[in-house]
Homo-oligomer: A and B are copies of this chain.
Amino acid sequence: MVLEHLALPYEWQEISTIRGETRTPEFLARNPMGKVPVLEFGNGRYLGESGAIIQYLANGTPLWPTDRYEQAQVLKWMFFEQNIHEVAIAEARFIRRFLDPDHPRQSELPLKLEKGHKALAVMEQHLRDNAFFGTDRCSIADIALFAYTHVAGDGGFDMSPYPNIADWIARVLEQPGFTRMAP
């Protein structure tokens, strides 16, 4: 989404975590954390962690504010996304969508739904008085939160209690160049 919004040239390389392609020696040399996404610069440099990648790409553009306090507010929501939101909502989606119905991790779903709804309630409340998350404009905080929020239904989340989130999703999709996350 950031690359498309900023109209930066890039090549997308599909890596399957399900098929173990993030655990090969070649991949671990690029990202010892064994996770996608990884940004490959082409000069032997790599950068892992989605939040760090989008901050790198957005640095110097309107998606990353210049004001020190606004930068911290953007990071606040990005850390919230990684520490509270992703571990509940993205993982619930992963379990329901990609694991067998009798996989032992299915037992984690009730707790992830409970924690995920708490995160969504915090977002809903924030959007009662604000159009976007980190600042009054769309920033990488919105992109970070958009990714798994707009597909939260896949994780079993009933989104009907969150009309402000629905409006915000529509606002993010209106940004130039924005695309829905790859399925």
Chain A interface residues (CB < 8 Å from chain B) = 32-33, 45, 47-53, 55-56, 59-60, 68-69, 71-73, 75-76, 78-80, 82-84, 86-87, 122, 125-126
Contacts of A69 in B (CB 8 A): 45, 47, 56
Contact A83 B82 (CB under 8 A): yes
Asked whether A79 and B80 contact (CB < 8 A) given A71-B55, A87-B87, the answer is no
Contact A125-B32, Cβ < 8 Å, known A47-B73, A49-B80, A76-B52: yes
Please, which residues of chain B bring their CB within 8 A of the CB of A48? 76, 80
Which residues of the partner chain B approach A78 to less than 8 Å between Cβ atoms?
79
Please give, as numbers and ranges, the residues of chain B lying within 8 Å of A84 by CB-CB distance. Answer: 33
Whether B86 contacts A33 by the Cβ 8 Å rule is no
Contacts of A76 on B, CB cut-off 8 Å? Answer: 47-49, 52
Q: List 11 A-B contacts (CB under 8 A).
A: A32-B122, A33-B84, A47-B69, A48-B80, A49-B83, A50-B79, A51-B79, A52-B73, A56-B71, A79-B82, A83-B83
Which one of B72, B80, B87 lies within 8 Å of A33 (CB-CB)? B80
Complex Cα–Cα for A68 and B59 (A): 7
**Residues in B whose Cβ lies below 8 Å from that of A86:** 83
Shortest distance from the beta carbon of A96 to any chain B beta carbon, whole Å: 19
A33: chain B residues within 8 A (beta carbon):
80, 84, 122
Contact present for B72 and A53 (CB under 8 Å): yes
Residues of B within 8 A of A32 (CB): 122, 125-126
- Give me 5 other A-B pairs in contact (C-beta within 8 A), A33-B84, A52-B76, A79-B79 excluded: A32-B126, A47-B73, A49-B76, A49-B80, A59-B72
CB distance B49 to A79 under 8 Å? yes
